[in-house]
Structure 1
Amino acid sequence: MDPFEDTLRRLREAFGVGRTRPAEFRAAQLQGLGRFLRDNRQRLQDALAEDLGKSAIESDVSEIIMCQNEVDLALKNLHTWIKDEPTATNLFTKLGSAFIRKEPFGLVLIIAPWNYPLNLTLVPLVGAIAAGNCVVLKPSEISKGTEKVLAELLPQYLDQSCFAVVLGGPQETGRLLEHKFDYILFTGSPRVGKIVMAAAAKHLTPVTLELGGKNPCYVDDNCDPQTVANRVAWYRYFNAGQTCVAPDYVLCSREMQERLLPALQSAITRFYGDDPQNSPSLGRIINQKHFKRLQGLLGCGRVAIGGQSDESARYIAPTVLVDVQETEPVMQEEIFGPILPLLTVSSLDEAIAFINRREKPLALYAFSNNNQVVNQLLDRTSSGSFGGNEGFIYLTLPTLPLGGVGNSGMGRYHGKFSFDTFSHHRACLLSPAGMERLNEIRYPPYSDWSQQLIRWAMSSQSCTLL
């Protein structure tokens, strides 16, 4: 017995009769999503604290408020986004109307991860709803508290004939992927991303893959080490380092490393106190499996700061490693925890070469008082996103897309980019049914004069003159 068959049939039938297409329906569902966030804020904060040890403020700024902002933006701009977009015509099509229509794909599958289990589930959902799709949401089974809230409460705020939350682990997700969807957005690891893409390929289903990677952070000699330490430490240890766009390792000179270490220690102490385990601002590792993995990475290089752990509390201290070799495990996999390796390079060119011989990262960061250094990193590398003297605060800007490149993913979303991702941009040309005499020049046989006129009508110069 297929556990998903009835649900998927119900959603496809709803889409088939056009239930999700009216702007009024889309707005009503977005409003329901906004009410879900407002009505259940405390429940969501409690669930995020249970799953990841998140403080209320961290849950608000990185999850709840960001979701609410996406809802508000979509509601404000919905009627503008869904309008047909007029385009230019040439001489042959001058009497017609050329435009782009944004159509929903149909039945969309969103597979979310556990590290930001509300944000990375609902932000894509906003775009899918705004674009007029029916949606199957698959929250992560690892973040059990948030999964429970989404499964039990979210359906009460959305039209259940058009939206469904499905549960399960890898086996159930595999069975779900055997079905044909019209679009899939997956957030997770490159390894699982390949599985999702292979399943989608069987149905020629388009995908957006938001994957991870090792995000480099270059620190130039020409900068204030304490300023850099404050920013890098906050971004590295936010959500206990379980952020796909967090700086994953630092590249700097030997001299800068010596200046950076005491600055990092100072920042960690100011942020989390002398005993970070008792800090309400430091989250916890999601489960024992990931805790064990991270504990193993503490054996790489040499611990310069932190290194303490408590398995019963799923706690790993904010840690800095030095004397790390490129071949060690901590440099071969995305860390996804509160561990920051420092590697030394002799020059900017060596840092760029180091970055470019690895897979393209989801994010790349550069710190320097010299704008030319920052711009060289920007110009000579490739990454999903880039921060100059800054970290992933750009995620709070819906005007900027989130998306990877190469091994770190494909596609993009956030703000209007989400709407565009879940919309088919249909090319349309409407011509008058009459006035056939004007079209006769297009038909054979072609005289020398008609050939010349056709070529001129097709050229950009004719469009400019008209």
Structure 2
Amino acid sequence: MPDAEPLTDDRILFLKSLPEKQRKEGLPEGSPSNEKRKKRLLKLKALLTEHEKALTDALYADLGKPAFESFSSELAVLLNEIDHVCKHLNRWNRSTSSRHLKLGYLEVLRKKRQPHGSVLIIGSWNYPVQLTLMPVIGAIAGGNSCVVKPSEYAPATAELLQTVINQAFPPEQVYVVTGDGQVAGTLTSASFDLIFFTGSGQTGKRVADQAAKRLTPVILELGGKNPCIIDETGFSEAAVKDIVWGKFLNAGQTCIAPDTLFVHQSVYEQTLNEISAALSAFYGDQPQASADYGRICTDAHFQKVAGFIGQGTVRHGGDHDRADRFIAPTVLTDIRPGSPVLEEEIFGPVLPVIPYADLDALLSGGTLQRDALTGYLFSTDKHHIQRFNDYMRSSTTSVNQVIHHAASPHIAFGGVGQSGYGAYHGKAGFLAFSYEKTSVRTYHYLRFSGKFPPYSERNMKALKKFRKRIL
């Protein structure tokens, strides 16, 4: 059934039938072999390589994304992930066994990872290739079939992924469905065995609520206000350049971008001057004309981000053009406490820079979101680094760099609290998309009859004395 059709009753039935169809036809033996999984991953890798130009063009159409950013932050990350997973999959998916000698019997345990079955993956629009296909890699590695719903807010990329993947894979293995929020709602109410969602907290709550009706497990990758701090020892030209690059990459539409920058008052003015110098060096005096600067994805998101600009003093930038969905790299100072730009996730090219006097006071003041996706600190002070790591509840903290950790297959990527739950990338992705199945076999040579009723005081004493050997 073509996915461009309206959401008719027939199409609703088709969408809801997908998980059962995949379980029946895609997983007839229960769990595909490691070789079959790697073959599918290598097919996906070949598609990324063969269609690199088309994917780059689609990303430019949706987000104005420069080709360098498209390859470095989307395609290269996926290619590296596939290489890493294929290299280690046999070891990760090896069955294990153990023996435990008890009083009267031998217990043999055999453990093996099992796929959940048919998995629904709902992608995000800000990195519409990487954040849609990265969980697909984990799902395939875990032995699952999957239905993939790219974001409708990146339509060129969504349509390309649908065409390319559905031509290369049979629908019982990987199937891409395009459509709006109604399509996503229909899919989340279907009988999938696991749902993986990347997006906003508000939509994530709806997905979790829908999944709860079927007790379907969910992995949520959300967002938050990732704090970034430069203490009195952390200022340098290189540090500021790294922060500026990470904040304004993809026009600020990155879930792990530094959201708000807190700078020790002793280096505050130096930092502001260096930020302006870095922005001019990166994008010139007219960033709208720069081939290296992206655009805001949708008109609605443009309106939200542009609304933040008036909530402080514009130290750099501030220009915006709705027709072009362009918002200049903007730096704000002198922001009133309680302003939305300090309370809401910005997710765009507006950087509030806030001075502070004491790190302990900053951390204890409740200004920083402790469970953001990540937290950044630029410092050489061991006490400050330890204090920051202890304070943050996020699954990662990063000292003296931004963004790069999220590209590593060696680091689990995921949220905590308001930033979501569950993690993936590398082995964490394999584990997230599978579960451990244990087979227990017992060899009796002496049965303990005292476990049966009627119970006696004598048997209670024996149980207490030999509990470690009996149980």
- Please, what TM-score do these two structures have when normalized by structure 1? 0.92
Amino acid across the alignment from 1:248: D
Greater shift in the superposed pair: 347-356 or 388-397: 347-356
- The answer to whether 1:334 aligns with 2:345 is yes
Taking a change above 3 Å as real, the CA distance of residues 190 and 414 of structure 1, as seen in their structure-2 partners, is same
> Per-residue displacement from partner, 1:14-50 (whole Å, max 9, x unpaired)?
2452265232322221121111111111111111111
Structure 1 window deviating more from structure 2 (186-195 vs 273-282): it is 273-282
1:404, 1:123 → 2: CA distance? Answer: 16
Q: Which residue of 2 aligns with 1:57?
A: 68
> Does residue 264 in structure 1 map to residue 264 in structure 2?
no
Give the partner amino acid of 1:146.
T
1:431 aligns with 2:442: yes
| Aligned 1:213-362 pairs, distance under 5 A | 213-355=224-366, 358=369, 360-362=371-373
Determine the structure 2 residue equivalent to 1:157: 168
Which residue identity is paired with 1:135? Answer: C
Cα deviation, 1:192-224, whole Å, max 9, x if unaligned, reads 111001001000111111011111111112223
Question: Structure 2 vs 1, CA of residues 353 and 68 (structure 1 numbering), >3 Å: closer, same or farther?
Answer: same
CA contact (8 A) 1:20 1:162 kept: no
Aligned residue among 30, 34, 39 for 2:45 = 34
Q: Residues 191 and 93 (structure 1 numbering): CA distance in 2 closer, same or farther, change over 3 Å?
A: farther
In the alignment, is the contact (CA less than 8 A) between 1:177 and 1:200 conserved in 2? yes
Does the 8 Å CA contact 1:35/1:157 hold for their aligned counterparts?
no
Contact conserved, 2:226 with 2:369, CA < 8 A, in 1? no
> Deviation string for 1:83-118 (max 9, x for gaps)?
223356352597232132211111111111000111
CA distance in 1, matches of 2:343, 2:375: 17
CA RMSD of aligned residues (A): 2.3
Kindly indicate whether residue 414 of structure 2 is the aligned counterpart of residue 400 of structure 1: no
* Preserved CA contact (<8 Å) 1:91 1:458: no
**Residue type of the alignment partner of 1:335:** I
**Residue 161 of structure 1: CA displacement?**
2.0
Q: State the alpha-carbon separation in 1 of the partners of residues 330 and 430 from structure 2.
A: 39
Offset at 1:243? Answer: 0.3
Counterpart code for 1:217: C
Q: 1:10 aligns with which of 15, 21, 24?
A: 21
Report the CA distance shift for 1:457/1:118 in structure 2 as closer, same or farther (over 3 A): farther
How far apart are the structure 2 equivalents of 1:260 and 1:405?
30
CA distance in structure 1 between the aligned counterparts of 2:212 and 2:318, rounded to whole angstroms:
43
Q: Kindly indicate whether the alpha-carbon contact (under 8 Å) linking 1:20 and 1:134 is maintained by their aligned counterparts in 2.
A: no
For the 8 Å contact 1:360–1:408, the answer to whether it is kept is: yes
The answer to whether residue 57 in structure 2 is matched with residue 46 in structure 1 is yes
Contact in 2 for aligned 1:29/1:159 (Cα 8 Å): no
- CA drift of 1:290 comes to 1.3
- What is the rounded CA distance, in whole Å, between the counterparts of 2:20 and 2:437 in structure 1? 25
| TM-score normalised per structure 2 | 0.92
Q: CA deviation at 1:408?
A: 0.6
SS in 1 for 2:273: helix
Percent sequence identity over aligned pairs: 36
C-alpha distance in 1, partners of 2:102/2:337? 60
Which has the higher mean CA deviation after the structures are superposed, 137-146 or 83-92? 83-92
SS at match of 1:96: strand
With over 3 angstroms needed to count, the CA separation of the structure-2 counterparts of 1:267 and 1:64, relative to structure 1, is same
The gaps in structure 2 that reach 5 residues or longer are 1-8
Consecutive unaligned residues in structure 1, runs of 5 or more = none
Q: How far apart are the structure 2 equivalents of 1:56 and 1:333?
A: 30
- 1:19-98 matched pairs, under 5 angstroms: 21-87=32-98, 89=100, 91=102, 95-98=106-109
* Amino acid corresponding to residue 459 of structure 1 in structure 2: K
Q: Give the 5 Å matches for 1:359-370.
A: 360-370=371-381
Distance 1:156 1:277 in 2: 38
Partners of 1:206 and 1:88 in 2: how far apart?
31
Q: Distance in 2 between matches of 1:20 and 1:88?
A: 25
Aligned CA distance change for structure 1 residues 57 and 16 (closer, same or farther; 3 Å): closer
| CA–CA separation in structure 1 for the residues paired with 2:31 and 2:291 | 43
Q: Which residue of 2 aligns with 1:190?
A: 201
Looking at structure 2, the residues matched to 36 and 149 of structure 1 have their Cα atoms a distance apart, in angstroms, of: 11
In structure 1, distance between residues paired with 2:151 and 2:314: 32
Distance, in Å, in 1 between the alignment partners of 2:337 and 2:101 is 56
Alignment of 1:168-187 (within 5 A): 168-187=179-198
